[in-house]
Structure 1
Amino acid sequence: MNRQAQAVVLLLVGGAVLRTSLTDMYLRYVKQGLRPFLIAAGLLLVIAAVMTLWYEFRGSAKAAHDHGDHDGHGHGHRGPWVAWLLILPVFALLLVSPPALGSYAASRSGTALQQVSDFPPLPPGDPAKISVLDYASRAVFDEGRSIGDRKVRLTGFVVTGADGRSYLARMILTCCAADARPVKVALAGQVPTGLKSDSWIEVTGRYVPKSIKDEINGERIPYLDVAEYHEVAAPNEQYES
């Protein structure tokens, strides 16, 4: 692989990063706050590739003018052929649109919550619309005191446990999909029936002082007493953080 080919590969990689970061596709790989860094990285790769090609073609044209092509010199430095493997992730980004992690990953990982001590008031509205992570944290670490008797509305996907119990879950990110972990809420009351795993639903209910242990890591999973639910389309940002 000569220097021109290396620059073309670099251009393809940068273009693929830009295409991903300028659409909602990037949300399947990293958290929302990292978008500016992805765009900057893609631009830098494209600029570096364009500048490399410009210098290479200018140098080749000058060499041909000064010395001619008969002496066989002027070939670019060749790098290892293994560099062509960089094209594979480029094709993956351009041609394949993988789904966000869902029930398969959630059912094989224990629920993940980090200790929280400060719980601000719930947002206004009846019901209060909060995240699955927020509800689970308030239910486990605050014993529901910051929720009280208010109705809450959560959105997530359905996970069916090995015991047949239904959970509402969301995957949370620290940085990217590689460190995604599930947060689960067990459902009581008007439990959704007839829904397949990975179905996205919006549930409205109240806190109940009841929880179970996750069968995978033994962590507490709080319950939500469901009053009503309905199916919804999967959101663009399927991860929480």
Structure 2
Amino acid sequence: MVLVLLGASALSVTLASGLYLNYVQAAFKPFLVAAGVVLVVLGVVAVASDLLAAARGADENPESGGGDDDHHGHSHARGPGVAWLLLMPVIAVFVVAPPALGAYTASAANPPAPSDVEAGSLDEFGADVPAGEPVPMELQAFVMRAWTDADRQMAGREIELTGFAVPNPEGEGWYLARLQMACCAADAIVNRVLVENEPEPPKDSWWTVTGTWAEPEGDLQEIRDHRFTVGEMTAVDNPPDPYE
């Protein structure tokens, strides 16, 4: 039964919903589906095998077990009763699905170190993007470009970012953040920008903001948190895939 329920939970969060995106990359869906199917099949085979063995034993010894059952009945009854407790963690997965990582993780984690990504490899500001129009960017791309934009091509350009609100433990403004994962939630790192010119919204609420990079002075790669001056904020629903 544990195998069947584990397999069913894997199938329910992949085929019946997109909850698996709270924990792993979308590319892992086929592997989760395959694992769920294997677990369900193994569980059904094990249960069927036990039922057949019990039925066969009853047919071969219809009058057996009187004395033995009286002698060992207490231990046999206790064993299966305790074993059913193994189902509780599995049932909890159906009742209380762990949410995606959010503001708590983003505020506790340190932002990544400057990458060796070259600014020229990021083409959000190509010739097909007229000046004056907001440029949609992922937070990861914005942060990496802010660290490597030696020519400061982002300066003065309107940029559109989407992320969730995170309180600043140091009390100066608040963060717009997005978590990035290579494989699963266990390796997630935070990309964030510091917003100082707007009141702090509720923690973990999602926003699309349009504004400009608060261009810093000095060496870009020595900046811990790049600042973003917000011109417009729009509340949005939580995206199906919360990670970048």
* TM-score > 0.5, shorter chain as reference: yes
Q: Answer yes or no: is 1:48 the counterpart of 2:42.
A: yes
User: Secondary structure of 2:97's match?
Assistant: coil
Choose between structure 1 and 2: higher strand proportion: 1
User: Secondary structure of 2:209's match?
Assistant: strand
Q: Answer yes or no: is 1:174 the counterpart of 2:182.
A: yes
Q: Which moved more, 1:137-146 or 1:221-230?
A: 137-146
Per the alignment, residue 158 of structure 2 pairs with 151
Per the alignment, residue 206 of structure 2 pairs with 200
* 8 Å CA contact retained: 1:122, 1:146: no
Cα distance between partner residues in 2 of 1:145 and 1:166: 24
Gaps spanning 5+ residues in structure 2: where? 69-75
Cα distance between partner residues in 2 of 1:234 and 1:57: 46
Q: 9, 18, 37: which one pairs with 2:2?
A: 9
Classify 1:238/1:155 alpha carbon distance in 2 versus 1 (closer, same or farther; 3 Å).
Answer: same
* 8 Å CA contact retained: 1:159, 1:166: yes
Deviations 1:170-199 (A, max 9, x none): 1222322223222111125xx332522222
Q: 5, 11, 14: which one pairs with 1:18?
A: 11
Per the alignment, residue 5 of structure 1 pairs with none
Q: Which moved more, 1:41-50 or 1:202-211?
A: 202-211
Per the alignment, residue 139 of structure 2 pairs with 132
Deviations 1:42-89 (A, max 9, x none): 111001111222222233333333x2243349xx9xx99876554233
Alignment of 1:1-241 (within 5 A): 8-22=1-15, 23-65=17-59, 67-72=60-65, 84=84, 86-113=86-113, 115-118=115-118, 119-122=121-124, 126-143=133-150, 145=152, 147=154, 149-161=156-168, 162-188=170-196, 191-193=197-199, 195-210=201-216, 220-240=224-244
Deviations 1:208-234 (A, max 9, x none): 32289xxxxx97221223222221111
Cα distance between partner residues in 2 of 1:128 and 1:55: 61
TM-score w.r.t. the length of structure 1 is 0.78
Choose between structure 1 and 2: higher helix proportion: 2
User: Secondary structure of 2:123's match?
Assistant: coil
Classify 1:175/1:53 alpha carbon distance in 2 versus 1 (closer, same or farther; 3 Å).
Answer: same
The alignment covers a number of residue pairs equal to 222
Q: Which moved more, 1:38-47 or 1:223-232?
A: 223-232
Gaps spanning 5+ residues in structure 1: where? 1-7, 213-217
TM-score w.r.t. the length of structure 2 is 0.77
Percent of aligned pairs sharing the same letter:
34
* 8 Å CA contact retained: 1:11, 1:49: yes
Deviations 1:132-171 (A, max 9, x none): 1111111113347464654221101112212232211112
Cα distance between partner residues in 2 of 1:114 and 1:46: 45
* 8 Å CA contact retained: 1:154, 1:202: yes
Cα distance between partner residues in 2 of 1:80 and 1:146: 68
Classify 1:88/1:173 alpha carbon distance in 2 versus 1 (closer, same or farther; 3 Å).
Answer: farther
RMSD: 3.1
Classify 1:19/1:142 alpha carbon distance in 2 versus 1 (closer, same or farther; 3 Å).
Answer: same
User: Secondary structure of 2:238's match?
Assistant: coil
